[in-house]
Amino acid sequence: QSHTSCIEMGNFQLSTVKKLVQFIYTGDYDVPEDNQTAEAPQTHPHPTGDEGSGTQGHPLDMPPASPMSESSAASVLLEHIWVHSIGDYYQVDKLVSLANSKVKQLLQSHGKDEILAASLPTAIEEAIELMGNKELLEILAEAATVNISTLLDTVEFKSLSVMTDFSISMLQCCVQKNQALATELEKTKRQLCAVEDCLKAQNEQLRRERQSLQVLMGTSSCRNINCSAGFMCYIDPGECILRCATCRCKHYSVD
């Protein structure tokens, strides 16, 4: 490269190289969402391999098994992973950080998207092959945690190079435990709402009974002019208001 003044990038997709160049000139890169044609799959070299030969490469630039429009969140996720790869390979730290931030933003915006969740195993496997990408793996791990129930039902996730029978069994137990806890939590929430409603009703009844007592303290006779009996009264348990015991006339609070 020092003799030819050229950098060999034949092991990366042309679209990925263009994003690197765009970043060098603008400090940012775009992932087109209207490109319906996927480029031919190529391979990235391992960051510690021979830059020119690509003989130690691995398939980091493989598009999804079922080609999808790049407008889908899944394809965009892989685009960012590939940009991360080229940035990591050429040690462009700011590009790596930018790609990580774009991945994180995408996953936060579409964390429960089924298509995106289905693409996570591919993205995780590619990220595992990269060197020094702990932050990217943490971002993907967080997204996988959100979709763990769905992922554990897929062969792709169970076939990840970092997965073992023990880890799969452990995750399945964790999911079952979390589901049981979630069910118990919902039950507790319903019980709490019922208790709060009951307490609210009791407080309202107590307030109205206090009002009735205040009315009683300021009342010496029935307000019904046709009721000549001595003022005997009671608090109606249904309406929580003061009534004359003789004519059942209601006596309201002045407020």
- The tens-digit pLDDT sequence of the chain (255 residues) is 445 555 666 667 888 888 998 999 999 998 865 343 334 344 444 444 444 444 444 434 444 334 333 346 677 888 888 888 888 888 888 998 999 999 888 888 776 667 777 788 888 888 887 655 788 888 888 888 888 888 888 898 998 888 999 999 999 999 999 999 999 999 999 999 999 999 998 898 888 888 878 877 777 788 888 887 677 887 777 777 888 888 888 877 655
168 belongs to a structural domain: no
Domain range spanning residue 104?
14-163
- pLDDT of res. 254: 56
Residues 148 and 179 in one domain: no
Tokens of 170: 């452990």
- pLDDT of res. 98: 92
- Domain's final residue, options 163, 188, 206: 163
- pLDDT of res. 230: 73
Whether this model's pTM surpasses 0.85: no
- Domain's final residue, options 133, 163, 193: 163
Residue 117 neighbours by CB under 8 Å, 6+ apart: 147, 150, 151
- pLDDT of res. 5: 53
Residues 92 and 200 in one domain: no
Residues 157 and 36 in one domain: yes
Q: Judge contact between 58 and 129, C-beta under 8 A.
A: yes
3 belongs to a structural domain: no
Residues 134 and 65 in one domain: yes
Residues 128 and 156 in one domain: yes
1 belongs to a structural domain: no
192 belongs to a structural domain: yes
Residues 136 and 29 in one domain: yes
- Domain's final residue, options 140, 163, 186: 163
Residue 140 neighbours by CB under 8 Å, 6+ apart: 103, 107, 120, 123, 124, 127
- pLDDT of res. 86: 86
89 belongs to a structural domain: yes
**Residue 158 CB neighbours (<10 A):** 16
Query: Angle, to 10 degrees, between the axis of helix 73-89 and the axis of helix 114-129?
Result: 10
- pLDDT of res. 235: 78
Residues 123 and 79 in one domain: yes
Residues 182 and 93 in one domain: no
